[in-house]
Amino acid sequence: MFGLSPARIAIRAVGGAAGIGLMTALAYAAGQPLMMVPFATSIVLVMGSPEAPPARPRCIVGGHLLSALAGIACVLLFGDAAWVPALGVGLAIAAMHVTDTFHPPAGISPLIITNAHATVFFILSPVLAGALILVAFAFAYHRLSGERWPERWV
């Protein structure tokens, strides 16, 4: 259990389920197929291990934005060839490291963007909107559950 009480584990698990529920409801309301929303693993990270450096708000928002930008740039420059998602993921990793916004769950965006033929608007919705909603949800949930999150905003 890594030092977490059963109650704290349950609280974090309920938060993860609630976050996925919110994500699903918003995707449905927006008419977005759920597979186009790259936040499931981000929710697992921020709810299950909020003290991890990649769970910082800066990493969630920045990592998702940079990964989406890498995916869109690669598609615009090279099309949707089989190797393009790999290049996008590699560029996303480099960009996240250089900007100190490393958030591994964001690495799925170039793959989603290429396979779904997403447009530049994908960066605004679902990526930016979703990342901001995720951070707001995690902040509120952790505060209501008695945890202080984030330990650092940046």
DSSP, residue by residue, 28-64: HHHT--GGG-TTHHHHHHHHH-TTSGGGSHHHHHHHH
Domain assignment of residue 122, yes or no: yes
Distance separating alpha carbons of residues 51 and 6, to the nearest angstrom:
17
**Segment 36-93, tens digit of pLDDT:** 778 889 999 999 999 999 999 999 999 999 999 999 999 999 998 999 999 999 999 9
Domain assignment of residue 154, yes or no: no
In this predicted structure, what is the pLDDT of residue 152? Answer: 82
Helix axes 40-48, 57-78, angle to 10 degrees: 160
Domain assignment of residue 73, yes or no: yes
Domain assignment of residue 149, yes or no: no
Q: Is the pLDDT of residue 30 over 90?
A: no
pLDDT category of residue 32 using cuts at 50, 70 and 90: confident
Domain assignment of residue 34, yes or no: yes
Domain assignment of residue 75, yes or no: yes
Contact 64, 103 (CB under 8 A): yes
In this predicted structure, what is the pLDDT of residue 2? Answer: 63
Domain assignment of residue 99, yes or no: yes
In this predicted structure, what is the pLDDT of residue 1? Answer: 45
Q: Is the pLDDT of residue 27 over 90?
A: no
Q: Looking at the 3D structure of the chain, how many domains does it have?
A: 1
Looking at residue 107, its amino acid is G
Q: Which domain holds residue 72?
A: 6-144
Domain assignment of residue 101, yes or no: yes
In this predicted structure, what is the pLDDT of residue 135? Answer: 97
Least confident interval from 16-20, 29-33, 125-129, 132-136? 29-33
Q: Is the pLDDT of residue 19 over 70?
A: yes
**Segment 93-120, tens digit of pLDDT:** 999 999 999 999 999 999 999 988 899 9
